[in-house]
Chain A
């Protein structure tokens, strides 16, 4: 029996996505950056719209746009510290608005973009798989080397700062990897649903693990389980793959959160 090539690509994509999500999602939850991740995922649509308008390759334009957006968010949050949450919300919508306006100005229908907005795991292009593999190769050694510093920062940011840890640079680094991840994972979960992928496996893993390193590994394993279950549902019942994955993950999270406490 040969595996359907679409299904094979989807399975490979979910394995690669699980590694990135396990690391970045766990760190996002630990550092209370989930809403920022959601904001960046939506802001990425701005880059996508601009690429669509100009007829350029979507991946590099969206990557550049999202990274610049993340750096702008960081600078503005530093300047307007008491309005950090509002700023995230404003930039979240602004990025989407830029994308919608760019698509309007192109005077073309944006049918292709729905795959990116809501995910299309079964039609993931080869270059996206290569980019995801490169991201994983960067994330694994970085997370391993910096795990202690990242834990210290997440545990007590004020102590970490006054003890001489470069917390500003670590936060910028995290923003950068969140930006890269949301763009490279957009076909897996979809930009609109991305925030669930960045929060649910990480939140469950942090709850069940005894160390940050183990939480990242468990986060990856959980994403893999949710992804495989979602693909199975999607394949069997002809459903949207991204929404199927998030439905499985969301139901698991609610069952755990509302279930009996240890």
Chain B
């Protein structure tokens, strides 16, 4: 079976310093991979390599059975919300329809089929009531769902989400993951997050990025020693009554919080 992607011994970075040094990661098709790691560890770098906007100086990259650039038409990318200029005059519908760029000729607008597909994803993600709203009128969570809809109208084989819950409150986060579970039943997704606990509850497997390498755990339980290694600080897993557990550190900053039974402890 062709993997969703294969990174083999890649060395990649910015300038002279490599962020990833001979790192490897192969993801089988189907399910959600969570990717965690401290700031600057290389999580977004992995996404850029998969998108083909960053080319490793060494190693092999294969996405959906081809090169990263050739696979772009079959990738749905959900950036962080700050990537979108919300001051521009665009509605949610226009944002979602902009997902068809690159699939249609430059001068051709979306037709009835494309509009129906966009409406359908807006309905599935429960943002159909926001379609005529301007982007500046949306909350962070609503904009995030609109960005997910924009990625999904491309019917991607691989969905890449960069910190999708960064600007969402607890309710919006729960809604986002509920919708993601639905849409990721028949596709592969990579979800980057700082929040170990949230990831553990919603993903099939977890990749820890840090120290120039990627460690893949098949399953959603993260050994404490792996977290200590990538975050560079001692880590305790503390239970706050079943099923709420908090993952805390010994004084060098908060690592993450789990709201479910997924975290290892």
Interface residues of A (CB under 8 A from B): 30, 145-146, 148-149, 151-152, 154-156, 158-166, 206-207, 209-212, 214-215
Contacts and interface: CB of A to CB of B under 8 A. Distances in A.
A221 to B, nearest CB: 15
A154 B85 contact: yes
Given A146-B106, A151-B94, A158-B79, A163 B89 contact: no
Interface residues of B, number: 31
Given A146-B106, A151-B98, A162 B72 contact: yes
A164 B101 contact: yes
A30 B87 CA distance: 9
A211 B52 contact: no
B103 to A, nearest CB: 7
Give 10 nearest A-B pairs by CB, closest first. Answer: A164-B102, A152-B98, A163-B102, A145-B107, A152-B101, A209-B89, A162-B51, A165-B101, A156-B84, A163-B101
Binding site secondary structure of chain A: helix
A206 B101 contact: no
A159 B79 contact: yes
A173 B51 CA distance: 25
A166 B98 CA distance: 14
A158 B109 CA distance: 20
Contacts of A148: 97-98, 101, 109-110
Contacts of B87: 206-207
A73 to B, nearest CB: 22
Interface of B: 51-53, 72-73, 75, 77, 79, 83-85, 87-91, 94-95, 97-99, 101-103, 106-107, 109-110, 134, 150, 154
A155 B79 CA distance: 12
Given A158-B83, A162-B72, A163-B73, 16 more contacts: A146-B107, A148-B101, A155-B85, A155-B88, A155-B95, A156-B79, A156-B84, A156-B85, A162-B53, A163-B102, A164-B73, A165-B101, A166-B106, A207-B87, A211-B94, A212-B89
A153 B95 CA distance: 11
Contacts of B97: 148
B88 A160 contact: no
Contacts of A149: 101, 106-107
A146 to B, nearest CB: 6
Given A152-B98, A154-B88, A160-B101, A210 B154 contact: no
Given A163-B101, A165-B102, A210 B89 contact: yes
A162 B98 contact: no
With most chain B CB atoms within 10 A of its CB, the pick from A156, A159, A212 is A159
Nearest to B68: A162
Nearest to A165: B101
A209 B109 CA distance: 20
A136 B94 CA distance: 26
Contacts of A162: 51-53, 72, 75, 77
B190 to A, nearest CB: 14
B77 to A, nearest CB: 5
B107 A151 contact: no
B46 to A, nearest CB: 14
A206 B102 CA distance: 25
A159 B51 CA distance: 10
Nearest to A212: B89
B89 A215 contact: yes
B72 A163 contact: yes
A64 to B, nearest CB: 27
A195 B88 CA distance: 20
Contacts of B107: 145-146, 149
Q: Which of A152, A163, A206 has the most CB of B within 10 A?
A: A163
A215 B85 CA distance: 15
Contacts of A210: 89, 91, 134
